[in-house]
Amino acid sequence: MPRKRRDTKRAELLARTAQISSCRFTQRIRAVHNRGEEPYVECGPWLELLGKLEEPVKGVTDVRISLYPLEPVVVGPVRPAAIGAVISLKLEMSVVISWSEREFDRLWSMALAGHSKFAYLAFTPPRYGRARIVSASFGSEREE
């Protein structure tokens, strides 16, 4: 009897462009004290880009893209490899993406100068309101 070939599931990806309407900046500092460790001070910036998707995802068009620096940026074992995540699809599509500190500083500067007008996101189809972001880009013009 011939063996059945198993269909390999290729990850289907969705892609959306968002027009960025505003941004929010936060700089935080806090004391961290984990049990059994010396306390330390943690500082970090946080950037949120708010806008509208040009094509809805599960009926949602509002998007909030949260960006923060993280060293080192690590790709986990889950496939497809991801650089961020969609963490909610209720009232808005909430996206979180970590960047290297150097690249985050460039993005922060672009946002401050008003040049982050469009965002392009490629992600896995949402399941239970969550998805993996595999690619993201930000710029002053729409990506084709």
Domain ranges in the chain? 14-139
Handedness of CA 97, 101, 107, 113 (dihedral sign): positive
pLDDT digits (tens, 9 = 90+) for 104-116: 999 999 999 999 9
* Dihedral pair phi/psi, residue 119, rounded to 5°: -125, 140
Q: For position 72, what pLDDT does the model report?
A: 82
Please identify which residue in the block is written with the tokens 């970090």: 44
Please identify which residue in the block is written with the tokens 């306390």: 39
- Distance in angstroms (rounded) separating the CA atoms of residues 73 and 66: 16
pLDDT greater than 70 at residue 7: no
Q: Give alpha helix (H) positions in the chain.
A: 101-112
**Cβ-contact 42, 69 below 8 angstroms:** no
pLDDT digits (tens, 9 = 90+) for 59-92: 999 999 999 998 887 777 778 888 999 999 999 9
Strands 40-57 and 60-69: antiparallel
pLDDT digits (tens, 9 = 90+) for 12-67: 899 999 999 999 999 999 999 899 999 999 888 999 999 999 999 999 999 999 99
DSSP summary character for residue 104: H
pLDDT greater than 80 at residue 142: yes
Confidence band for 5, pLDDT divided at 50, 70 and 90: low
pLDDT greater than 80 at residue 8: no
